[in-house]
């Protein structure tokens, strides 16, 4: 079945460092891909999304490109801030009902000043 | 606009007690989801409703768990009797019909209810 695999954390970076969090997926069709972010003590919120191959989602300085050839949707940010410390979830929606959303296990990011 | 509202934010109870968690989805959203989050198992979908009707409850751990959605603005998740292994953060999320006010796969989460069963 469809699935999402993301790099295990935790990831610890210094402020202004470059961030990459890897995400790969397995899907039989053409899913939509998402990154959700969970700040400490809060629920998840949508960070960015891409609905078709070669689409780039971006928000708050974060970017991810839907790569069909490598079945990947890696999250990147050029210069992280302490406020980016959170858990990041890659997710895949494979169509049909809204329940068909699969989350990865999450990657915890800690940014040190 | 008000987001998804969950109550209580924190609940501490003793094993064997009944626990009821409550959720008010965003007005106009037609799908509602209950998730459980633990360190060991990550984020698990327990059940979801579409237009107040349960669509998939395959994630509900066992008969001790039950969920209802009596109307479009309210849902409950009940655990009876509770056990220590039920300790987790329980999230409610809602989403609109795809193509209306949001895209497919876009969920709006509440802040969660942290349950501790002693």
Give B36-63 pLDDT, tens digit per residue.
Answer: 999 888 899 999 999 999 998 989 988 9
Which residues of A fall within a CB distance of 8 Å from B109? 43-45
| B50, B93, B105: residue with CB nearest A93 | B105
Are the beta carbons of A105 and B42 separated by less than 8 Å?
A: yes
Are the beta carbons of A32 and B104 separated by less than 8 Å?
A: yes
**Cα B40 to Cα B27: distance, rounded to the nearest angstrom:** 33
Are the beta carbons of B109 and A49 separated by less than 8 Å?
A: no
Give A1-14 pLDDT, tens digit per residue.
Answer: 888 999 888 999 99
Closest to A27 in 3D by CA, of A88, A106, A95, A98: A95
Whether B101 shows a pLDDT value over 60: the answer reads no
Mean pLDDT of A34-41: 96
Are the beta carbons of B42 and A46 separated by less than 8 Å?
A: no
């Amino acid at each position: 079945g469809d699935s999402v695999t993301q790099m295990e954390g935790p990831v610890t970076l210094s402020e202004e460092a470059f961030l990459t969090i890897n995400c790969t997926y397995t899907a039989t069709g053409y899913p939509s891909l998402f990154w959700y972010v969970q700040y400490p003590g809060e629920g998840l919120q949508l960070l960015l999304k891409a609905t078709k191959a070669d689409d780039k989602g971006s928000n708050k300085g974060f970017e991810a490109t839907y790569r069909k050839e490598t079945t990947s949707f890696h999250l990147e940010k050029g210069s992280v801030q302490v406020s980016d410390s959170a858990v990041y979830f890659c997710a895949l929606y494979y169509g049909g009902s809204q329940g068909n959303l699969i989350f990865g296990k999450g990657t915890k990011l800690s940014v040190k000043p | 606009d008000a987001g998804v509202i969950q109550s209580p934010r924190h609940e501490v109870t003793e094993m064997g007690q009944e626990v009821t968690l409550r959720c008010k989805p965003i007005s106009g959203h037609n799908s509602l989801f209950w998730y459980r989050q633990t360190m060991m198992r990550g984020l698990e979908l327990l059940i979801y409703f579409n237009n107040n009707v349960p669509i998939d409850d395959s994630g509900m751990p066992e008969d001790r768990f039950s969920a209802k959605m009596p109307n479009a603005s309210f849902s409950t998740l009940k655990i009876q009797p509770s056990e220590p292994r039920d300790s987790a953060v329980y999230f409610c999320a809602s989403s609109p019909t795809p193509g209306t006010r949001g895209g497919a796969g876009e969920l709006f989460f509440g802040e969660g209810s942290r349950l501790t069963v002693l």
